Amino acid sequence: MSLRIRRILVAVREPSRTPRAALRKAAALARASGAGIELFHAVSEPGSADSPAAVGALEIASRDLKRTARSALLAGCRTHTRVEWDYPPHEAIVRRARKIRADLVIATAQPSGFGNRLWLRNTDWELIRHCPTLLLIVKSPRAYRRPAVVVAVDPLHAHAKPTELDQRLLAAGKSFAALLSGSVHAFHAYMPLVASVQGPMGEPLVWESPEVEEVHSQQVAREFTRVAAKGGIPPRNRHLAMGDVSTLLEGTVRRLRAGMTVMGAVSRSRLRRLVVGSTAERVLDQLTCDVLIVKPRGFRTAVPRLG
């Protein structure tokens, strides 16, 4: 995977409020890569684009976005703005990213109101499913300072991931770590291999064989080592553990004070719709660092073009 960032699209939800964390991180990546930045907002007022309400909203959003573009956080960056009337927001973002051939889309997760923790909302999930470019979801206010980049791989492809996706994830992680003068780490967590059987009254019983578990653990370790070694990850930066993936991944992120986790999203239907399972949802919501979503090779978005 050859990664070159030339155009960064920052999706701004509320032009009247400066997304400081997203701007700071877009600027860091732009300065390191030489990329240009576009601040984009989609106005989704009901009615037609030339209705009084839509026209007024477009003018206000354009004014606010231009003020944001003058932020000191973007000093030294080639920055311009774009406001369009389009709906729904995630489709508007995807359409704009395709039109300008963006290499990276940056969006900010929203605070939950409980402890100001950032959770993914509907637009975030739809971007994860449909955005064809690299997608960086900003969840942490911390600036990138030589960050650890944790790449979550699936060496046994237990979640139907294409076999080449792990190497795309590792390549993306290495590229971002290089841009930010950080380090890249490979991570994988797996659950114990158990067999469920029924007791005499039909009750579920869990039977576990230490010998079978040992064979399974050895197989996972062997495949994880192979994937990490092929991706050029040194042994000291490989993290393999047995247990709940969301708990262990968040623990690894906290221990390394990681600035970014790299994860893959895959299509599981003939309609090419990306389905995010309950485990992935829990992992993504629990993470406190930024998340970079990488699509498999050949992914085609289902978002229609307009005009």
- CA triplet 160, 165, 169: central angle to 5 degrees? 130
State which fold the 7-294 domain adopts: Rossmann fold (3.40.50)
Run of H or E residues at 84:
strand 79-85
Residue 81 β-bridge partners:
39
Q: How many other CB atoms sit within 10 Å of the CB of residue 275?
A: 12
What confidence tier does 205 reach under pLDDT thresholds 50, 70, 90? Answer: low
pTM: 0.90
Check whether 297 has a pLDDT greater than 90.
Answer: no
Question: Torsion-angle region of residue 131: left (phi > 0), alpha (psi -120 to 50) or beta?
Answer: beta
17-39 average pLDDT score: 97
Please state, in angstroms and rounded to a whole number, the distance separating the CA atoms of residues 144 and 258: 9
75-96 average pLDDT score: 95
Q: Average model confidence (pLDDT) for the chain?
A: 87
210-224 average pLDDT score: 90
Tens-digit pLDDT profile for residues 154-204: 998 755 566 689 999 999 999 999 999 999 999 999 988 775 555 667 666
84-101 average pLDDT score: 95
Lowest mean pLDDT among 60-69, 161-170, 233-242, 295-304: 161-170
Please state, in angstroms and rounded to a whole number, the distance separating the CA atoms of residues 60 and 133: 29
Check whether 42 has a pLDDT greater than 80.
Answer: yes
Q: Are strands 118-119 and 110-111 parallel, antiparallel or unpaired?
A: antiparallel
Higher pLDDT, 2 or 56: 56
Task: Give exposure, 24-48, as e/b (b: 16+ Cβ within 10 Å).
Answer: bbbbbbbeebebbbbbbbbbebeee
Give me the pLDDT at residue 270, please. Answer: 40
Give me the pLDDT at residue 249, please. Answer: 95
1-6 average pLDDT score: 80
Give me the pLDDT at residue 159, please. Answer: 53
263-272 average pLDDT score: 60
- What percent of the chain is predicted at pLDDT more than 90? 63
Check whether 7 has a pLDDT greater than 60.
Answer: yes
The structural domains of the chain, with segments of one domain joined by +, span 7-294
